[in-house]
Amino acid sequence: MTFTDTDKSPPCPRQDEHRPSLNILLCAPRGFCAGVDRAIQIVEKSLEIYGAPVYVRHEIVHNKFVVENLKAKGAVFIEELEEIPPHHTDRPVIFSAHGVPKSVPIDAQTRRMFYIDATCPLVTKVHHEAMRHYKMGLDIVLIGHAGHPEVIGTMGQLPPHAVHLVETVADVETINISDPSRLAFCTQTTLSVDDTADIVAALKAKFPHIIGPGREDICYATTNRQEAVKMVAPRVEAMLILGSPNSSNSNRLVEVAKSYGCPNALLIGDQSQIPWDRLEGISSLGLSAGASAPEILIKNVIAALEEKYSVTVEEITLTREHVTFNIPRILRDAQDNYAQGRDKQAK
């Protein structure tokens, strides 16, 4: 059909007709876990009650968006207590959700610092397990990643050389134990469930009398997010995991996706890192987020995808989580006193 100058222009097609269709399978659970939410609350409430600056030893959780947001509110992130200026030793200092060695609170007390411990209660459980086994005279094997803050914190609950760290099945063969009948193991809370199961099997094969934790050390949130990814990965052509490069649990989600049927799985920090070339020609996309990544990052990615695709979103739900952890009592009491003071001022 041709058109002359006097003809009306043809109606513009709907914008969506120009866009390829993209079906997003959104994993649930995803994003923040109870320990991360608690840690962030601790920093935010400390800023509200005590004002800025509030010091935080190490990133409170491993997510750039969260850290930058807290910096903007007045949190100052440090790696060691000695970085706090002498005239600020009365300011609150918060220990990150990953936990710290015993030497850190001792150092804080020596420096007469006011500290608040934001260690995830599930990490604290592992600390208690390790200490209990050590007091029973057992050698300790810790399954985890060398150099990760949680591993440093757990190993730091015990004297030097009291813990044997293993990262792989191959590492199990290198362990030399003086009395194999007196041995126990613990694990980092954010590991791959499948990889850890293989390492535990190797430990039990070599040391039949080894004692494990009373309950699984890998936390509920790590397990749930990995299982949700396992459900989605075989059904999609690509998968994006929201999280920071230094987030252990986020990296494990990428590995799980690749192992369970989606080799085109990538870790991105936010919508600006969407690898458009890797998505070219696909019609299905899996989406999830590590336990330290806020939901706003998922929403921003979907919004960016909607600029280029006709998007439908289907949430694939493994389970609903209802776990919550209280903030420390010292902060709850301070919050109550702060609220009472504001009420009096209002009157």
Q: What is the pLDDT of residues 191-212, one digit of tens each?
A: 999 999 999 999 999 999 999 9
pLDDT score, position 335: 86
- CA neighbor of 250 nearest in space, from 123, 61, 24: 61
Radius of gyration of the chain (CA): 24
pLDDT score, position 289: 98
Rounded Cα distance, 75 and 301, in Å: 27
pLDDT score, position 344: 61
Rounded Cα distance, 42 and 27, in Å: 27
pLDDT score, position 67: 98
Q: Which of 44, 59, 129, 150 is labelled catalytic?
A: 150
Q: Please state the φ and ψ torsions of residue 172, each to the nearest 5 degrees.
A: -60, -35
The reply to whether CATH 3.30.1370.60 applies to domain 17-33+220-317 is no
Mean pLDDT of 77-104: 97
Band of residue 336 on the pLDDT scale cut at 50, 70, 90: confident
Band of residue 295 on the pLDDT scale cut at 50, 70, 90: very high
CATH architecture for residues 122-206: 3-Layer(aba) Sandwich (3.40)
Q: Looking at the predicted structure, is the pLDDT value of residue 226 above 70?
A: yes
pLDDT score, position 341: 65
Q: Looking at the predicted structure, is the pLDDT value of residue 11 above 90?
A: no
Band of residue 216 on the pLDDT scale cut at 50, 70, 90: confident
Q: Looking at the predicted structure, is the pLDDT value of residue 123 above 60?
A: yes
Active site residue 129: no
Start-end of CATH 3.40.1010.20 domains in the chain: 17-33+220-317, 122-206
- CA neighbor of 192 nearest in space, from 164, 217, 159, 156: 217
Overall CATH class of domain 34-119: alpha beta
Q: Are 51 and 75 in contact (CB under 8 A)?
A: no
Band of residue 1 on the pLDDT scale cut at 50, 70, 90: very low
Count of other CB atoms within 10 angstroms of residue 200: 18
pLDDT score, position 14: 43
Mean residue pLDDT across the chain: 93
